[in-house]
Every structure is written in structure tokens, then in C-alpha cells.
Homo-oligomer: A and B are copies of this chain.
Amino acid sequence: MVNWFWRKGAKGARVDAPKLRPRSEDAALSTKVDLAELAPHRDQFLAQAAYVQLVIFEGLSANVAAAPDLAAKERLTRAAAIALEKHHAIVAEITRTGAVAAEAMQAHGAAIQFFQRATRGDTWAESLVTSHITSGILDDFFVRVAGGLPDDLERRVRAIYANGSHEALVSEQLRVYIEQQPTQAAHLAMWGRRLVGDTILVARSALASPPSSANDEARIEPVFTELIAAHTRRMDALGLTA
């Protein structure tokens, strides 16, 4: 399936989200392009990557506060710490360029603020799925785009993302929850599918410029298809249908 790439977000009008053109007939003929070729300028990359980690941290710390017991809380604090360390490491890279992190994030943040509102869950389980699914896709995305940064910065950025992942910590919490509340599985699967559209849109807004031709679209599509394939594996691991 993988039609999420083409799907508009589920919540009304949006600002800053790139407009998607209909699937081009010649998609199959285009050459696959690495996302790195569409990497934005270093400043935009760092600002958006830092802001996304801040949003992920906020989500995980809300997951900590709402956790049903201290064992779950304790494990989720580890996940929150990993996101916070990544955020601070990327902020250090912004500072290194001479910019002020808050100003940089503000300048490149409209799509991310929309994304945060659009993906907020109403329950602990929904919020945990949001943390897991959105950070999974977006970390994958920023690591791929990092290939277009200057070499030394690329190396440091890859090291930041390689330094720790909370994926196992969060997915284990969710797997246990779904095992205990099997009647919630269908709802959470739907919520997971609902998140992908908004997550892919915020990722696209973090590229150098929105694709402007059907040919551009066709060249990028396989990369997003790979991000979504990884997402599908994450959902499968939870026992949820993507």
C-alpha cells in the first residue's frame, strides 16, 4: 500500500506544508535519488533537527508523567534522556555556527509547531505511539539527509544519532501495553496510520525546497517509501497493522 506519502494530513488546513502533486505516470522511469541531494542549508538542517528532538523530548516527558506505574515511568525517563541528549548535542552544533538556537528554531519552526499539535495523542497509549512512530521516521529521515551536509558536520551529526536510540525502550512499553489491552490494538493501529501523513509532511518541509516537478516527486518517492517500510516494520513489531 504505502499511500501515506500522498495523503494530506488528517486535520484541516495547514500552513507551510508542501503541496503534493498527483503521482506521475513516469515515476517508475525516474532514477532513485538520495535524500542527501535535497539537504537544506546547514543552518536550516540543524534548526529543524534540534526542534524535532525538542518536540520528541516533550512528548516522551509527557509519557513519563502519565505513565501508569513507576516501572514504566522509570524506563521512559531513559528514553526522554536520550532525546534530550540528542537535542542538546544538535543545539551545540548550532551554537558552534555562531547562531542562537532558539532564534534558529523559531525561524524554521512553523511546520514543526503544526506537526506537534497535529500528532498529540489523547491518551497515554496514543501519546506513546506518537513518540515511537514519529521519532522512528524522523530520526531515519534526518540521518539520511545528513549525507548532504559538509563532511565534518555530517560525521558529527551521524555520531549524535548513532549515540543512542530510545526505540527499544518505547516499543517494549507499547508491546506490553498492547498485550495487556488487546482490544486497544485496532485503535492504536489506526492512530499509527494517522500519524504517518503528518510525519512525512514535516519531513518534506525540512528538505531544501519542496519538490517542484512531477519528476522531482518521482525521484524522492522511493526514499520516502523506504522510510515508510521501516515504519511498517516498527508497527509489525508491536503487533499492529501498518
Listed in ascending order, the chain A residues whose CB lies under 8 Å from chain B are 54, 57-58, 61-62, 64-65, 69-71, 73-74, 77-78, 80-81, 84-85, 87-88, 91, 100-103, 105-106, 109
- A84 and B87 in contact, given A65-B61, A65-B62, A74-B101 (Cβ under 8 angstroms): no
- Of chain B, the residue at the smallest CB distance from A57 is B77
Contact residues in B for A69 (Cβ distance below 8 Å):
102, 106
Please measure, in the bound complex, the distance between the C-alpha atom of A69 and the C-alpha atom of B103, giving whole angstroms: 10
State the oligomeric state as a number of copies: 2
Contact residues in B for A85 (Cβ distance below 8 Å):
81
The 8 Å CB contact of A64, one of B58, B73, B77, B81, is B58
With a 10 A CB-CB cut-off, give which of A62, A65, A71, A73 has the most chain B CB atoms: A65
- A77 and B54 in contact, given A70-B109, A102-B71 (Cβ under 8 angstroms): yes
Please measure, in the bound complex, the distance between the C-alpha atom of A85 and the C-alpha atom of B88, giving whole angstroms: 14
With a 10 A CB-CB cut-off, give which of A74, A85, A101 has the most chain B CB atoms: A74
Chain A interface helix/strand/loop/mixed = helix
The 8 Å CB contact of A61, one of B64, B91, B100, B105, is B64
| Nearest 9 Cβ contacts at the A-B interface | A61-B61, A70-B102, A71-B102, A74-B102, A58-B65, A70-B105, A70-B106, A81-B84, A74-B101
Closest chain-B Cβ to A169's Cβ sits at a distance in Å of 13
Please measure, in the bound complex, the distance between the C-alpha atom of A7 and the C-alpha atom of B15, giving whole angstroms: 53
- Of chain B, the residue at the smallest CB distance from A101 is B74
With a 10 A CB-CB cut-off, give which of A57, A70, A103 has the most chain B CB atoms: A70
